[in-house]
Amino acid sequence: MAGLDYEDEKWDEFLEQLSVKDMRRLIGMGGYKTSALKSINKGATSDVDGPAGINAIVNGESGVTHVTEVVLASTWNRELARAMGESLAAEADAYAIDGIYAPAMNIHRSPFGGRNFEYYSEDAYLSGEMAEAEVSAIRDYGKYCYLKHFAMNDQETSRAGIAVWANEQSMREIYLKPFETAVKEGGATAMMSAFNRLGTTWCGANSTLLQMVLRDEWGGRGMVITDYDGAAYMNVDQGIRAGNDLMLSTTGDMPTDTSNTAKQAMRRASHNILYTVVNSDAGAYTYVYKMPGWMKILIAADVVIVLLAAGLIIRGKKKRAAKIIVESGIVE
């Protein structure tokens, strides 16, 4: 499927091999990876943070720390941005990593922004040019970048669910412009939607942003993943209908609606995910998922707590039964 146009009719034939179970797993289990699917002989892929160096929270890999993006952008040097992209991609290749949650490219609205170190600058043109150089270099290595956080996530404090308001001109000329440049000129095939709302609609369920602007106007092809899936308003069924394809969840957040329209939305989301993956070098090796130590400890602790709780419940029931027997006069 690699190299085929997104609209190629062979995609329909290919997607017919996916069951609803396959699609639910592919969409819902997107935390730092995409899932393996036997039905289409797809292996698992590995995705990692980050904007200033490989930082694999789940599989434990940690790479060289590069300069932050604001320092990189301060050079006004596209060649350095490309060199940083090449360095990140080469290291990802050495660790058998396919996707990088980077670059981060929102706008510095204030010098006190909590994510400013991770974003390029206050200037839309400069941010776009640096991002294009970095993204295209990473793509040349067969890796894919998740541009983040799409869009208008320009603060850190209370960013989960905050409602952001702006007029269309400022959005197009400032806040969306770096993403547009990276998609149109850098060839980015993945995006990470933001925690915040645009108006009253969560970015991951905003079809105007993810479908009309990203796909229809900019010609973007590929997948959109959520930011970390931990908030109640991040609804997977709404997301896949609006153009958000993958849930960044390590425990699973599968679509629950199985109506015909839901199945079509799942199919479209699966198409977007697989388009990104097959047009990378993800098939060059097999990624073996290793459960991190912290997750093993957490599972063990959960098991111990459940067993202790069960023991206390059983013990409590036995005491209650004995009391009833004594009170009934059956035994003294």
Active-site positions read 227
Structure-block tokens of residue 197: 């709302």
d(CA 209, CA 214): 6
E strand or H helix at 126: helix 124-140
Q: Which residues of 229-263 are buried (b: 16+ CB within 10 A; e: fewer)?
A: beeeebbbbbbbbbbbbbbbbbeebbbebeeeebe
Helical pair 124-140 and 78-94, crossing angle rounded to 10 deg: 40
DSSP-based three-state secondary structure for 150: strand
SS3 of the chain: helix, strand, coil, percent, to 5? 45, 10, 40
d(CA 88, CA 82): 10
Pairing relation of β-strands 223-228 and 190-193?
parallel
Residues linked to residue 145 through DSSP beta bridges, in sequence order: 100
Question: Nearest CA to 30 among 278, 244, 243?
Answer: 244
- The answer to whether the beta carbons of residues 233 and 7 sit under 8 Å apart is no
Q: What is the dihedral of CA 61, 270, 204, 5, to 10 degrees?
A: 100
Alpha-carbon distances of 7 from 222, 268, 275, 282, 324, rounded to whole Å: 12, 12, 10, 21, 72
Neighbours of 309 (CB within 10 A): 10
Q: Which of 167, 273, 279 is nearest to 224 (CA)?
A: 273
For tokens 């079509």, the residue is 264
